[in-house]
Chain A
Amino acid sequence: DSHVQYERVGADVTMKCGSMDWDAAVTWMTNGTDIDESHQNGSYLILKKVNLTQSGQYSCYEGSSWHLKYQTSLRVGMPPKEPVLMCRSNNYPKGFYCSWHLPTPTYIPNFFNISVVHGTREMVCEKDTFPKNRCHIRYLQLFSTVKYKVTLTVTNALGKNSTTLTFDEVAIVKPDPPESVVAKPVPNNPRRLEVSWQNPSSWPDPESFPLKFFLRYRPLILDQWQHVELSDGTSHTITDAYAGKEYIIQVAAKDNDIGTWSDWSVAVHATPWTEEPKHLTTEAQITETTSASTSSFMPPPTTKICDKGAVLGSGAVAVCWTAGLVLAAYGVLFI
């Protein structure tokens, strides 16, 4: 005869040896070891203030014949505390989901029952296969004045508890964070960073239900964030980045009109474009490594570039002047 017996932590447990009389001679065993007779009151096994470690298989044998008379599995646990319930619509206007968990473990099996009532109508919350403690509901109507009332009841062998959430359709709207956030430096712009992202894939209809975005960024070395709110578009150029500093950037989303902001997206790092040092270093190295004999043929790089620059400059100026004269002439003709 096999049983399961659930008992509360800290309780005093009395185990009877099946249908045996109180004064029968029996021996109790647990997990292969004898239990001392001091714990027995006649044929009853007394366990005082049980703790979790005392969970296990308990067997009772008749004194002389060693017949197994009774066997039970003792599970020490606790009645459920008030469960934590959360409901959210990350796919408005399709519907919403609710998920739940227990704040502390009970150590014994628990059963959850969820009920959703909308006005007078009872709705079915379809359980998700994964994760387990989650169910979803499809909206039949939009813009409802009547609140939704979700009640979660958790039951186990030692007790029962429940919690209720009541909310308006629009109050629980919270999109998932934006996806594929990318931040890139902008060539030749030491103070810019180009950030782009995508609408969360769970948001079904961004055309009719557009999202607005919140961008935050800071250099790694500082604690203070800078914020930008963007009412449309999925990209933004930061124009006040500190040159050469690595930045951390995140984006959040919200329905344009209702609900709350999403959590922050995954953080991306980027450093603005910095100018590459010129040939200076490489040529300087060459002149240093080559022998003194070549030095007469290769003037020090700095002066060489200066001379080149001077030549170019004068040439460029000459070009500019001629271009200017030509344009002026054309302008006069048109006016």
Chain B
Amino acid sequence: GDSWGIFTFLCAALCNLPALPALNCTEELGAGQSIQKTYDLTRYLEHQLRTLAGTYLNYLGPPFNEPDFNPPRLARAERVPSATVDLDLWRGLTDNARLAANYRAYSRLLCYLRALDGQAGTAELRHRLGHFCSSLQGLVLSIAGVMSSLGYPLPVGPAGTPAPPGTAAAMAASNDFLKKMDDFWLLKELQTWLWRSAKDFNRLKKKVPPAVVTLRLEARGF
């Protein structure tokens, strides 16, 4: 009779997991699933971005839509966060630092992408951008979920808050071509971050195994 009772309780606990991220005893189980979910989301976004970038670059016109277009990085405001990192440094990142870097990057990228939304050409393009922004927001929230389930604080401060729209517009409006360059680099950085995140979350997956249920049982004295 006892074993049945335990079994039903377990079922209830597992089913309620997604709704109760604060439940201490289910922390590791939640984090494992969230990391997988976040990984899947980066892959989905990367796929979506390919179509979106193609359409947007065509809208910008040549030379931005040429496949060999390889402009030098202008020394202008490096506002868009770069995914580029030294190999050994990347390897040595703590889980917290790794997640925080992703969180900060996508928060800012989302903000810049939203600014793009208002100015884009056709209605179809604006619709696509809007959809992508929603998905990107989902990614930011997913990363936040992983961080909180592992007990890490969410990054705050200037990196997390968006730059006032006024300054961005003032800097960009100076030159139409330069503005298009900014758009080009934004999409490039976004693409590179999505490549990097797949690798980041692969590493995190290995560190946090998905199911640790049996350990939980022992801890609770059954």
Is chain B found bound to chain A in the same assembly? Answer: yes
Contacts A208-B203, A256-B202; A141 near B85 (Cβ below 8 A): yes
Partner of A166, one of B70, B91, B196: B70
State in angstroms the CA–CA spacing of A144 and B83 once bound together: 7
Chain A CB within 8 A of B188 CB: yes
Contacts A170-B195, A208-B91; A145 near B84 (Cβ below 8 A): yes
Partner of B198, one of A93, A140, A207, A256: A256
Partner of A209, one of B85, B86, B199: B199
State in angstroms the CA–CA spacing of A144 and B185 once bound together: 12
Interface residues of B in 188-218 (CB under 8 A from A): 188-189, 191-193, 195-196, 198-199, 202-203, 206
Chain B CB within 8 A of A139 CB: yes
Contacts of B91 in A (CB 8 A): 208
The B interface, classified by DSSP as helix, strand, loop or mixed, is helix
Per-position 1/0 for B11-43, Cβ under 8 A of A: 000000000000000000000000000000001
Contacts A145-B192, A210-B202; A257 near B43 (Cβ below 8 A): yes
**Is the pair A143, B43 in contact by a Cβ cutoff of 8 Å?**
no
Contacts A140-B86, A141-B87, A166-B68; A146 near B195 (Cβ below 8 A): no
The A interface, classified by DSSP as helix, strand, loop or mixed, is loop
Contacts of A145 in B (CB 8 A): 73, 82-84, 185, 188-189, 191-192
Contacts of A140 in B (CB 8 A): 86-87
Contacts A143-B196, A208-B202, A257-B43; A119 near B87 (Cβ below 8 A): no
State in angstroms the CA–CA spacing of A141 and B82 once bound together: 12
State in angstroms the CA–CA spacing of A120 and B68 once bound together: 16
Contacts of A146 in B (CB 8 A): 70, 73
**Is the pair B70, A141 in contact by a Cβ cutoff of 8 Å?**
no
Chain B CB within 8 A of A220 CB: no
Per-position 1/0 for A175-216, Cβ under 8 A of B: 000000000000000000000000000000001111000000
Partner of B90, one of A142, A147, A149, A258: A142
Chain A CB within 8 A of B72 CB: yes
Residue from A93, A139, A142 whose CB has the most chain B CB atoms within 10 Å = A142
State in angstroms the CA–CA spacing of A207 and B91 once bound together: 12
CB distance from A335 to the nearest CB of B (A): 11
CB distance from A122 to the nearest CB of B (A): 13
Per-position 1/0 for A99-119, Cβ under 8 A of B: 000000000000000000001
A-B contact pairs, 16 of them (CB 8 A): A142-B86, A142-B90, A143-B84, A143-B90, A143-B192, A143-B199, A144-B84, A145-B73, A145-B185, A146-B70, A208-B199, A208-B203, A208-B206, A209-B202, A210-B202, A257-B198
Interface residue ranges, B against A (CB under 8 Å): 43, 46, 68, 70, 72-73, 82-87, 90-91, 185, 188-189, 191-193, 195-196, 198-199, 202-203, 206
User: Which 3 A-B pairs give the minimum distances between C-beta atoms?
Assistant: A257-B198, A143-B196, A143-B83
